[in-house]
Amino acid sequence: MHVPKTGTLVAIVLLLVAAFVAWQWRYSPFFAQLFGATHEGQLISQVHYQCDEEKTMDVALYAGAQSATPTGSATVVLSDGRTLELAQTVSASGVRYANKDESFVFWDKGNGALVLEDNTEKSYLNCIRVADDDNLPQVYASGQEGFSLRYPAHYIGDETYVYEQLGPNKEINGVKFSIDPAVAQGTNLSSDSYVSVEQLPDTPACSATKFLDSVTASNLAEGTTVYSYASSTGAAAGNRYEEQVFALPGTNPCVAVRYYIHYGAIENYPEGTVSEFNHDALVGQFDSIRKTLVIVQ
């Protein structure tokens, strides 16, 4: 009787194991959870949305098999406790998912989402994607303002903010996020320092020069985002003022993030009464906030 060689037996065993793993990958919930796939396909993305009335949605999107018709799927977890498994459907714009009787529809529209229940917008309105950042626990999301942002604990948000330094009839509306007052205590930093998100309506040529007076803007590339960037400094009566503006060309309303840093000249304080604030650390935190900005236009 012929006995297969050891190498041949090993090869046969490896082929059987590979076939078993492939079968489990396609059909076993255990392997699907372990490797991030589902019965319907490979996990594409997981997105957290903030909606009106502090409602939330967590959505997992899955790719389907290649086909002339949509075969993807979505799992939608709602803050009211419901979990829905939806199939991708034909859509003229965006990516649309629905349950069998079309009583619930989730429509992925880039950074925003539309939810229909019984063909009506009623429960989850003005939903905006929220960026991931565990170091920035607070979330601002507004369908009216058209953006979401994450910011640190103890920062103070202000929707009544208006930037007025450009003079009469040149006010710019926005939302301000002032620093944690405790950060400024015992230093030469002023607690009125902040990050703001500002918008200029009917401004198709969006540039940082529209948010600061007498400056020249330059392009600043960060990953796939290119900002129109400008900065300015000022001094008065022992105070120092720094501003940086990161405008987003192509947005209309024109959207920009402003850094405003106010501090006292350290040499004007009696020796030993205050310490100099960590300028680089503050700018680094402002950068982290800016990078979580999500715009819906």
Residue 16 pLDDT greater than 70, yes or no? no
Residue 67 pLDDT greater than 90, yes or no? no
Look at 38-52, 64-78, 148-162, 268-282 and tell me which has the smallest mean pLDDT.
Answer: 38-52
Q: Give dist(CA 281, CA 274) in Å, integer.
A: 17
Q: Give dist(CA 240, CA 190) in Å, integer.
A: 10
Q: Could you tell me the two tokens for 127?
A: 């939903």
Look at 35-39, 221-225, 229-233, 264-268 and tell me which has the smallest mean pLDDT.
Answer: 35-39
Q: How many CB atoms lie within 10 A of CB 40?
A: 19
Residue 23 pLDDT greater than 60, yes or no? no
Where residue 146 falls among pLDDT bands split at 50, 70, 90? very high
CB 229 within 8 A of CB 246: yes
Q: What pLDDT, in 10s, does the model give residues 212-249? A: 999 999 999 999 999 999 999 999 999 999 999 999 99
Percent of the chain with pLDDT over 90: 79
Where residue 91 falls among pLDDT bands split at 50, 70, 90? confident
Q: What pLDDT, in 10s, does the model give residues 272-283? A: 999 999 999 999
- Using CB atoms within 10 A of its CB, is residue 3 exposed (0-12), middle (13-18) or buried (19+)? exposed
Across the chain, where does the E strand assignment appear? 37-38, 41-50, 56-62, 73-78, 83-89, 95-98, 104-109, 112-117, 127-130, 138-142, 147-151, 156-158, 162-163, 172-178, 194-200, 218-222, 225-236, 239-247, 254-264, 294-295
User: What element of type H or E holds 14?
Assistant: helix 6-27
Taking the model in full, what pTM does it have? 0.83
DSSP summary character for residue 295: E
Domains (range + CATH), the chain = 41-129 (2.40.128), 133-295 (3.40.1000.10)
Q: Give dist(CA 132, CA 47) in Å, integer.
A: 9
Where residue 8 falls among pLDDT bands split at 50, 70, 90? low
Q: Enumerate long-range contacts of 221-226, CB under 8 Å, 24 or more apart.
A: 222/291
- pLDDT at position 41 is 77
Look at 1-5, 70-74, 141-145, 181-185 and tell me which has the smallest mean pLDDT.
Answer: 1-5
- pLDDT at position 68 is 84
- pLDDT at position 137 is 97
- pLDDT at position 5 is 53
Where residue 35 falls among pLDDT bands split at 50, 70, 90? very low
The average pLDDT across 114-138 equals 95
